Amino acid sequence: MSGRSGQGWARCLPRVFAAAAAAVGLYGAALLVAVPGLARGPASVADIAEGLQDAVVNISTTQTLKGPDDGAPIRKGPKGSPFEEFFDDFFDEEGPDGMLRKVSSLGSGFVIDPSGLIVTNNHVIEGADEIIVNFNDGSKLKVTKILGHDPKTDLALLKVEPSRPLKSISFGDSSALRVGDWVMAIGNPFGLGGSVTVGVVSATKRDINAGPYDDFIQTDAAINRGNSGGPLFNMEGEVVGVNTAIISPTGGSIGIGFAVPSDTAVKVLDQLKEYGETRRGWLGVHVQNVTEEMAPALGLDAPRGALVASVTPDGPAAAGGIKPRDVILGFDGQSIRTMRDLPRAVAGGTVGKDVLLKVLRGGKAVDVTVTLGRLPEEDDDIAEPQEGARPETDDLLGLTIAPLTHQLRDKFRISGKVEGVVVTDVKPDSPAAKKHINAGDVIVEVTQEAVRKPEEVVARLRAVRKSGRPRVLFLLADADGELRFVAIPVS
């Protein structure tokens, strides 16, 4: 570009910018007219925050360890989550190896009763020898009692003894939240003390595989380490969530945070307050998702519901008549869209209550009434599909099968309670191998009919091919008797 043309371009720049600005202005004005309220976020949350900060607390804990091999748990958030490593609060260790040392943790919480009831995350206080609550005015109180805690939802309820009533806040209705609603988080990020951040609800009912009852609110309001256990507010100043987790490769906020919905938290906290523990409903079934391949064989036009793989003997479901192969489509008036909807619905049920289940059995709708039991602590009332993996005949979809003899039981260590036809080999790259069927798996049913001999399996497969159906439905058991359904293409 010559100097002259350069000068000419420079002289044109103001006019170019002016034209661009005018165009953007016109477009922006049109957009604001087309979308009323687009420019109206919360002009300021100062008034809301000012009335809430005194009820939000910082929580510090200390734990004494004996040495590097002490084995005391230092949790990094809800156990089992794929984001576990990013959830942790600060930990500071003091003292040489092999000597007693203190481990410190920082988190957040909030007061829900003026008498001194405080909510936080279970992972913030888990294993602590001492818990100190720090208030906005600089005062401190020692926690006198942990009224209860629940690792499955990562909630804990603490008690302090104040000399005067504390400022408290109340829960709102998290089910009323919509994606795009404004929310505000107050907490103790990085140990800095009360900090306020604002964002929107990015998603609801988010499952992050932290546990069987995942139902998180996702928000882009900045949540960082130290915010764990703090409140997420709606614009009415009500608590709609308890901040629990973040996704972050750096440990800082990247706009993806998660909160336990208030509707879940209230139920858990009420039980912790009354009983000191949770009392969840229990159905006594192991379930798996209905896949697209399974749906036609089960009489469904599309994948939905929770497929019962097995029923706990003497459990509530068994007593009510629930059977393997049933597809649970509704529970106590709630629609069950996927497998994971069922444990959440059951857990929220009332122990001892008669509930109506909408069930699809053999392609027909059936109503079944079950009296809910109480969930044993070690049971999650849920079983993921357990599709294993491994390798004769093409007619048998790549499977080599045999009667379940004592010798084969011993070889594959198959439980005595398992009955059926054993898979002794699986051909590589066969339809069966692609569905992760292993040598040692036991075929219990084919097309929802029990099989005890290899020829019965062959006959069922021939019938499926003759009918023109594209897939055959197997019910398989592993060596321990855990059941799963597998739909295999027959052509």
Other Cβ atoms closer than 10 A to 193: 14
- Judge contact between 278 and 287, C-beta under 8 A: no
Q: Of all residues in the chain, what percent carry a pLDDT higher than 90?
A: 44
To which residue do tokens 């988190």 refer? 107
- Would you state the pLDDT for residue 86? 41
Active site residue 154: yes
Dihedral sign (CA 450, 454, 455, 461): positive
Burial of 402-415, coded b for 16+ CB within 10 Å and e otherwise, reads eebeeebbeebebe
Average pLDDT over residues 451-477: 87
Look at 61-70, 116-125, 243-252 and tell me which has the smallest mean pLDDT. Answer: 61-70
Q: 43: pLDDT confidence band, cut at 50, 70 and 90?
A: confident
- Would you state the pLDDT for residue 238? 97
Rounded to whole angstroms, how far apart are CA atoms 272 and 47?
A: 33
Q: Catalytic: which of 108, 202, 228, 430?
A: 228
Q: Catalytic: which of 108, 123, 174, 215?
A: 123
Active site residue 286: no
Average pLDDT over residues 445-473: 86
- Would you state the pLDDT for residue 358? 96
Q: Catalytic: which of 81, 105, 108, 154?
A: 154
Mean residue pLDDT across the chain: 80
Q: 389: pLDDT confidence band, cut at 50, 70 and 90?
A: very low
- Would you state the pLDDT for residue 182? 95
β-bridge mates for residue 443, sequence order: 421, 476
- Would you state the pLDDT for residue 371? 95
Q: In this structure, what token pair is assigned to residue 205?
A: 């009912």
Active site residue 380: no
Look at 84-88, 184-188, 462-466 and tell me which has the smallest mean pLDDT. Answer: 84-88
Q: 250: pLDDT confidence band, cut at 50, 70 and 90?
A: low
